[in-house]
Amino acid sequence: MPYKVNSLWKIQYGMVRGFTWLDDGTMITLGVWGPGDTVSKSFAKVNPYELECVTEVKAALISWNKGADMTHILLSHIQPMQELTIIRSQKTVEAMLIQLFNWLGKKFGTETSKGQLIDFRLTHQDLADILGTTRVTITRSLSQLEKQGFIQRNPLHRFILREEQIWHYEI
């Protein structure tokens, strides 16, 4: 997303990821935001920092002015970062994936007869970057979760989280 001085982006639909990278090129996802959230490069003090559209995004450019409700704006930016931190703190990659899909399902999903549909393209590399692991580990973990019936994948990289199975995993 382009940077505009003294401006914010209010996301109307879609998914945006904020990230930085280390000297060795390792990408670190710092946040994931969606509809109703407000993002800006001005909120980050890390350098480099980029905002990337993970899906098709529609966002309105709003001016950062003294009359804006900054409490609401900052909370809409901080809360998803805190949620992502908790997800990434799970002990196993499988648990991280289930928590991430559950979170994405609540934020972006559609309820279907088979479960919560996350109806946008997420590659294994996208998931690895968000969770701070490798693509190979994600591929292995997704295969395991699919065999156990927790998720269902389709050829378009869309996922269905089978919620009735999740409580078995969490026990």
pLDDT on residue 68: 64
- Contacts with 128 (C-beta within 8 Å, 6 or more apart), sequence order: 134, 135, 137, 138
Count other Cβ atoms within 10 Å, centred on residue 168. Answer: 10
Delimiting residues of CATH 1.10.10.10 domain(s) in the chain: 90-171
Delimiting residues of CATH 2.60.120.10 domain(s) in the chain: 1-85
Pick the CATH number of 90-171 from 1.10.10.10, 3.40.640.10, 3.40.50.2300, 3.40.50.360: 1.10.10.10
pLDDT band at 171 (very low <50, low <70, confident <90, very high): very low
Specify whether domain 1-85 bears CATH 2.60.120.10: yes
Count, residues in the chain? 171
Least confident of 13-17, 105-109, 160-164: 160-164
Q: Evaluate whether 47 touches 31 at the Cβ level (below 8 Å).
A: no
pLDDT band at 166 (very low <50, low <70, confident <90, very high): low
The helix (H) or strand (E) run that includes residue 109 is none
pLDDT on residue 137: 97
Mean pLDDT of 51-59: 92
Q: Evaluate whether 88 touches 96 at the Cβ level (below 8 Å).
A: yes
Q: Cα(145)–Cα(163) distance, rounded to whole angstroms?
A: 13
pLDDT of 157 higher than 70:
no
The CA-based dihedral angle spanning residues 163, 75, 82, 15, taken in that order and rounded to the nearest 10 degrees: 60
pLDDT band at 164 (very low <50, low <70, confident <90, very high): low
Mean pLDDT of 97-117: 87
pLDDT of 149 higher than 90:
no
pLDDT of 24 higher than 70:
yes
Higher-confidence position of 64 and 145: 145
